[in-house]
Structure 1
Amino acid sequence: MRKLFWLLTLLICTTSCDDGDIITVEIEFGDTFKTCGELVFFQIKEFPHESLSLQITDPSVTLDDLLEVDDDGELVTDTLIVNINGDTNKFNYRTYNSDPTTLFCSPVPPSGIEIIEDLLSTEGEAGIYIFLLEDDEDGIPADMEDENLDEDNDPSTNPTDTDGDGIPDYLDFDDDGDNVLTSTELDLDPDLDGDGDPLTNPADTDMDGIPNYLDDDDDGDGVLTIDEENFSEDQNPANDFTDPSIADYLNPVVNTTVPATAYRPHVINQKFTVELEIKEVRLPTIDLNEFDFGTLEGDDRLESSRIVTPDF
């Protein structure tokens, strides 16, 4: 939990405090925030009832705009810096008479919730930072799908592409380009070493030293796995059976050739992280220089995918 201590200077004398007295108030919010509407970001606290919120209308963008990815899987925008001015871009600290959880994102404001104090900053800066992680989720960690020839331990630079289809192995859910998913070929692991890890003893049907998930002829019958679709030409040799007990691409006795005409569409999974930082704001009676909202949570758009079909 992030803790921020604010000094609130009493501007009005009361019967219990002399003019100029200072009260130290501890305001503790979590390290995550939520969003609704176009670009409204907020944090709420139930006890005491408080909120921090940022509403951006200039520039006119949406969260979908910020999560836009180009055809190469790169973020179109990874940083958005906006000026807080109290008009088009507002940063507020509010207190309430009851739990404000249902107040935000509700088309009809709930009754019974009153704002006790509403402080608005007329200056400051908000920085929104977007990060994207892509993965093929084929059961092999990304750092294990790169030969690391450049010795930088980063699979995205000079990446290994076993089948040469233009999709690096760490994003390719069919590493050897045989139209059988890598995850499917890993599931064939007999686990002879008993450790439950398919990578320590990967299936190698033809025992040629190349594991099935990297072998374009899994059964070693001279016919490429991709060309062993003898019944259903649907870019999936794993569902073609001459012998009901074993797929043709794993059966060296069956070597009928049906030339493939296309690669199957590849699904690349995407996970977005959105972070928000507020700097140099000025709120009445509150001395606040900056605040870290943490990371966005609770939005389905933070997980997505894109489809890439390699040229055959």
Structure 2
Amino acid sequence: MNKVFSLIIFILLITSCSEGDIIENDIDFNASLESCSNLNDNTFVFYKIDDSINQALSLGFTSTTFEVDTVPEDLSITIPLNETTNTLFYRKFGSAINGADYFCASVPPSGVTITQELIGSDGSIVITYTVDSTTSTETIYNRNIALQNVTIIGADRVIRQEVLEFGSDKITITN
């Protein structure tokens, strides 16, 4: 009787414990942070591309107070994400792309196949600056870009992350 009972429990455990589809929710990857801007319409793009697996993460936003090569007085800027003017995109491509051509050109190159796309629907872009080094002629700042309380939506999934470190770079300001 114990063997039959144990066999029934074992069969129930095997058939009822399904992990379902495993979805990789970590969209953070190591790649250099790049940027471009169009000062005529106050648009800015920060992006990073992982060429080894043809994926990119990009932030695009509009601001009349932000400048790529300056540092704000309070050393921090917060920009709300939305689905129209301040956007976050995660994309996988069918082949390698050139970031400057794809993200910074008025018209992106043709023939680029997007195999997966996730779009940020809410959250905030937080850009902070810290002093890296100072000389008599220049100050070098670390610029860190993070996403806070972001929701990223795709055709088959929703990812929610409290903090997603987007990337960092350096800015040199002449004293």
TM-score (normalizing by structure 2): 0.70
Match of 1:84 among 74, 81, 84: 81
> Which residue is equivalent to 1:132?
131
Per-residue CA deviation, residues 94-152 of structure 1 (Å, 9 max, x unaligned), is 1111112332223442232122222212111111001234533xxxxxxxxxxxxxxxx
**Matches of residues 1-312 of structure 1 in structure 2 within 5 Å?**
21-25=20-24, 27=27, 29-30=29-30, 32-37=32-37, 38-58=43-63, 61-64=66-69, 67-68=70-71, 76-102=73-99, 103-136=102-135, 171=136, 268-284=137-153, 285-289=157-161, 290-296=163-169, 302-306=171-175
**What is the alpha-carbon distance in structure 2 between the residues aligned to residue 62 and residue 54 of structure 1?**
15
Amino acid aligned to 1:33: L
**What is the alpha-carbon distance in structure 2 between the residues aligned to residue 89 and residue 95 of structure 1?**
20
**What is the alpha-carbon distance in structure 2 between the residues aligned to residue 59 and residue 280 of structure 1?**
24
**What is the alpha-carbon distance in structure 2 between the residues aligned to residue 35 and residue 57 of structure 1?**
13
**What is the alpha-carbon distance in structure 2 between the residues aligned to residue 78 and residue 62 of structure 1?**
13
Cα deviation, residue 60, structure 1:
5.0
Cα deviation, residue 31, structure 1:
6.0
**What is the alpha-carbon distance in structure 2 between the residues aligned to residue 54 and residue 130 of structure 1?**
18
Indicate the SS of the match to 1:121.
strand
Indicate the SS of the match to 2:66.
coil
Amino acid aligned to 2:86: N
**What is the alpha-carbon distance in structure 2 between the residues aligned to residue 58 and residue 305 of structure 1?**
23
Counterparts in 2 of 1:133 and 1:45: CA distance versus 1, 3 Å: closer
Counterparts in 2 of 1:57 and 1:23: CA distance versus 1, 3 Å: same
Q: Contact 1:82/1:127 (CA < 8 Å) preserved in 2?
A: yes
Per-residue CA deviation, residues 276-298 of structure 1 (Å, 9 max, x unaligned), is 1112111221323131023126x
Cα deviation, residue 56, structure 1:
1.4
Q: Contact 1:32/1:293 (CA < 8 Å) preserved in 2?
A: no
Q: CA RMSD in A?
A: 2.6
List gaps (5 residues or longer) in structure 1: 1-19, 69-74, 137-170, 172-267, 307-312
Cα deviation, residue 89, structure 1:
1.0
Counterparts in 2 of 1:31 and 1:49: CA distance versus 1, 3 Å: closer
Indicate the SS of the match to 2:108.
coil
Cα deviation, residue 58, structure 1:
4.5
- The aligned length equals 146
**What is the alpha-carbon distance in structure 2 between the residues aligned to residue 60 and residue 122 of structure 1?**
23
**What is the alpha-carbon distance in structure 2 between the residues aligned to residue 40 and residue 60 of structure 1?**
15
Indicate the SS of the match to 1:104.
helix
Larger radius of gyration: 1
Counterparts in 2 of 1:112 and 1:47: CA distance versus 1, 3 Å: same
**What is the alpha-carbon distance in structure 2 between the residues aligned to residue 303 and residue 120 of structure 1?**
32
**What is the alpha-carbon distance in structure 2 between the residues aligned to residue 51 and residue 39 of structure 1?**
16
Cα deviation, residue 76, structure 1:
1.8
Amino acid aligned to 1:279: Q
| Structure with the higher fraction of residues in strand conformation | 2
TM-score (normalizing by structure 1): 0.42
Identity of aligned residues (%): 22
